[in-house]
């Protein structure tokens, strides 16, 4: 029975085959994603932003694959091949691979999604309280730096 579950859910089964610090951090991010998505569905937080963000956190942190010789990786092609000519060869075989490499592989899709969400969002709050929004944006950038420092303290190198 457990062999069937491992084949059905390879991301979850390989989650704890990593270093414990990384596994615990990923579990905490999955839990945070559930809370963000829940509060978005409940409309406590802005659903247009929080539901995709929460579901994205869950999907990214739950999706680890065991590739080839037992190594870990994601669906980025860079974990499979190192030679640029091999990447080009693979892009010619798989017709969706160029779309993936040019959007998901380099993080461009996140920019496009959040730019689209920003275009759909209500800007009345921003126009009526500009300094509050600037303060929130400063705290968001500070959160990036704090997360970077915490990651380094946990032993994760950039």
Domain ranges of the chain: 1-74
Give CA–CA dist 30/7, Å, rounded: 21
What is the model's pTM? 0.51
Q: Which two tokens stand for residue 105?
A: 């592989």
Q: Over 60: is that where the pLDDT of 107 sits?
A: yes
pLDDT digits 0-9 by tens, 118-148 = 777 777 777 788 898 889 889 989 999 999 9
Residue with tokens 């705290």: 139
Closest by CA to 56, choosing from 74, 80, 32, is 32
Compute the CA torsion angle 112, 116, 119, 121 (nearest 10 deg): -130
pLDDT digits 0-9 by tens, 37-55 = 999 999 888 888 888 888 8
CA distances from residue 103 to 38, 99, 120 in whole angstroms, order as listed: 28, 6, 21
Which helix (H) or strand (E) covers residue 67, if one does? strand 65-67
Please enumerate in sequence order all residues whose Cβ is within 8 A of that of 86, keeping only pairs 6 or more positions apart, or say none. none
Question: For residue 94, what is the DSSP state?
Answer: S
Cβ neighbours around 139 below 10 Å, total:
10
Contact 14, 74 (CB under 8 A): no
């Amino acid at each position: 029975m457990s062999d069937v579950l491992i084949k059905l859910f390879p991301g979850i089964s390989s989650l704890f085959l990593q270093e414990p610090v990384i596994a615990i951090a990923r579990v905490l991010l999955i839990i945070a994603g559930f809370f963000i998505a829940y509060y978005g569905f409940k409309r406590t937080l802005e659903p247009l932003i929080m539901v995709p963000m929460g579901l994205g956190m869950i999907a990214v942190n739950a999706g680890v694959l065991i590739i080839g010789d037992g190594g870990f990786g994601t669906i980025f092609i860079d974990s499979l091949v190192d030679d640029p000519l091999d990447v080009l060869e693979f892009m010619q075989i798989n017709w969706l691979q160029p779309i993936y490499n040019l959007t998901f592989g380099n993080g461009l899709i996140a920019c496009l999604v959040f730019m689209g969400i920003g275009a759909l969002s209500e800007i009345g709050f921003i126009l009526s309280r500009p300094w509050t929004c600037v303060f929130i944006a400063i705290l968001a950038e500070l959160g990036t730096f704090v997360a970077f420092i915490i990651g380094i303290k946990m032993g994760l190198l950039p």
